[in-house]
Amino acid sequence: MFSIPFQDCEKSMRIMLRLSRVTALLLALTFVTERPAFATSTSDAVSAKQQIAARGVGKGVKVHEADGTVLRGKIVSMGEDSFGMQVGSKPVVEVPFASVREVQGPGLSKGAKTAIWAAVGVVVLVIAIGASYAHAYNGILGSG
C-alpha cells in the first residue's frame, strides 16, 4: 500500500555515490604519496646509511636489496660501508649500504596502515548509511 518516495531514494543514492568517490580519491592519494627510499647510487647509499643510523643499533628494520633479497631483523652493528643485521637465529649478515634499495620499519608501511583504516572507515560508513536507510523506511516497508 505504501511505497518509498522516489526522491528520497534518489537523494540517498547520490550521497552514497559522492561518499564512495571521495573515499576512492583518498585511497588513490594514499598510494601515490607513499615514496620508499631507493639506494642505487653513491648518494643513495649515503641516504640508506643515514636511515639505518637514524633507526639505531638494536632496532628492527626491513631491508630490500638491489638483487631482490628482503631481510627483516635487528640492526646489530654499523660500519663505514655496511651494517650488520641479526635475522632470526641465523648468524649476523653484513649488508653493504650500496646494495640497499629500500629501508622500512619492521611493521606495515604508513600507506598500508592508512589504507586499512580507510577501508575500515568505508565499511563503518556503509553500515551506518544502510542502518539509517533501513530505520527511516522500516515503518513504511513493514506496514504494507
Whether residue 114 is found in the same domain as residue 135: yes
Whether residue 96 is found in the same domain as residue 118: no
Whether residue 74 is found in the same domain as residue 100: yes
In a domain, 1, yes or no: no
Whether residue 60 is found in the same domain as residue 95: yes
Task: Say what the pTM is.
Answer: 0.47
Whether residue 79 is found in the same domain as residue 94: yes
Long-range CB contacts (< 8 A, 24+ apart) of 132-141?
133/12, 136/8, 137/4, 140/2, 140/3, 140/4, 141/2, 141/4
Task: State the Cα–Cα distance between residues 119 and 123, nearest whole angstrom.
Answer: 6
In a domain, 54, yes or no: yes
Q: How many domains does the chain have?
A: 2
Residue 84 has pLDDT above 90, yes or no: yes
Beta-carbon contacts of residue 16 (< 8 Å; ≥ 6 apart) = 126, 129
What CATH number is given to the structural domain containing 48? 2.30.30.100
Residue 5 has pLDDT above 60, yes or no: no
pLDDT digits (tens, 9 = 90+) for 107-131: 777 777 888 888 888 888 888 887 7
Whether residue 28 is found in the same domain as residue 50: no
Give pLDDT, residue 77. Answer: 92
Its domain, for residue 99, covers: 42-104
pLDDT digits (tens, 9 = 90+) for 47-81: 888 888 888 898 888 888 888 888 888 999 998 88
Whether residue 100 is found in the same domain as residue 138: no
Whether residue 10 is found in the same domain as residue 29: yes
In a domain, 130, yes or no: yes
